[in-house]
Amino acid sequence: MYQIDFRKPAAVHFIGIGGISMSGLAEILLARGFRVSGSDSAENTLTEHLQDDGAVVYRGQRASNLAEDVDVVVYTAAVHEDNPELAEAVRRGIPVLTRAQLLGQIMRNYQDAVAIAGTHGKTTTTSMVTEILLAAGADPTISVGGILHSIGGNVRIGQDGCFVTEACEYTNSYHALFPTVEVILNIREDHLDFFRDLADIRDSFHTFVKLLPEGGTLIINGDIPDYEEILGDTSCRVVTFALENRQADYQAEQIRYNEKGFASFDIVRKGVRIGHIDLEVPGEHNVANALAAAAVGDVLGLPEEAVEKGLDGYTGTERRFEFKGTLGGVTVVDDYAHHPDEIRATLLAARKLDQKKIWCVFQPHTYTRTKALLKEFARALALADEVVLAKIYPARETDDLGISSADLAAELEALGKKAHYFETFDEIENFLLEKLVPGELLITMGAGDVVKIGENLLGLS
């Protein structure tokens, strides 16, 4: 594998530079004096920011985008062998790295490298850890999979020896990382276009844990069934957090929710109260995320006051129960949830609010996930009062596997829940304008472009 020499900045080309993770890595290299170029199908605020910082960004992907002096090409799992830029790199013998391999090489430059993994909650927990570090006066480097307002984007370039990043299990990409601290938030069935089943996913997380060096620390959710199996033959230090497991090192006690669904609770470490938290984000799932973040702060030796201040000051990232505006007395929220567990957590949080009715406009994400978890999706969505379904967002997939949102609507109907399915966003928007009444809550939900529906209704796009 090609090894980047960070003492000798080279020319790096990113295929898909406009993605949330790739753009962050490109920005880190720019700050280290590397020459950066890249391409994407369309311009966005991330590519515009990179251009302002000196990157060369091409719209569209073609072989001619690779300059003669490119030293290495970086690509993501969504890029296939027939991509013209990847094919050109191979033809010319230019070294190539996956996004995860580059991320792993960057991590090796830091004394403390924190990798936050799990089926869901990675962006929120990474953001919470960021707020704790900043509250402690640290100067970390951060790569987060969302827009965090306190750092002005999805990446922060710091000067001290701490790096915090999300670690994605898809295609086992996190096996290329070099963490000194790992967090495993949860392990559930997902990405079944790659993994065979839950046992395969658990085995993948076990391999991830084995990456920790001697003296490394694993922070793991003690509510994961048989979580000890994930540890297996590892020898790292293990720290647990949990909402249910009363043997866990970190627990939440005296949990209370206000009218916005925000939780207040005591953090208890091994039976001793070490702080009180007043969250500014809703839902029980965020209590668990906060416990994980608090454990990271503790492992890094940060003061308890910084943990309190950081968590109290966290107000969320874009597309995580993000308030978008009001429309004729209707509150409009957007959320990235695209797995049944995430949907359930988001809707349970919404039910703690004082709303007449909860409307959920859901856009399923990928055919494989929808087909594999169809019944689980229906049970989770049934927590909403009204469900509106958009067409499946295919993302990287081309085979629809004979599945559509109509099948999900049928599953909801079988549960006694009326579901409305429309082929286009225009139809959904017109339907909502006819049906919504003041005092109701509208949540647009999914990892695709469903956010446009709420933005269109509010006149934001």
The number of beta carbons lying within 10 Å of the beta carbon of residue 422 is: 18
Q: What SS3 state is found at 215?
A: coil
Annotated catalytic, 123? yes
Alpha helices, H only, 42-149: 45-52, 84-92, 99-107, 122-135
CA torsion sign for 53, 57, 63, 68 is negative
Spatial contact of 205 and 221, defined as CB atoms under 8 Å apart: no
Closest CA to 219 of 198, 242, 201: 242
Name the phi and psi angles at 24, rounded to 5: -65, -45
Q: Which of 27, 85, 131, 166 is catalytic?
A: 166
Annotated catalytic, 356? no
Q: Which of 119, 122, 317, 342 is catalytic?
A: 122
Spatial contact of 199 and 209, defined as CB atoms under 8 Å apart: no
Tokens of 51: 């251009």
Task: DSSP letter for 396, please.
Answer: T
Annotated catalytic, 122? yes
Q: Which residues of 63-101 are buried (b: 16+ CB within 10 A; e: fewer)?
A: eebbeeebbbbbbbbebeeebbbbebbeeeebebbbbbb
Quote the CA–CA distance of 294 and 299 in Å, as a whole number: 9
* CB-neighbour burial class of residue 52 (10 A; exposed 0-12, middle 13-18, buried 19+): exposed
Quote the CA–CA distance of 239 and 125 in Å, as a whole number: 16
Active-site residue set: 122-123, 166
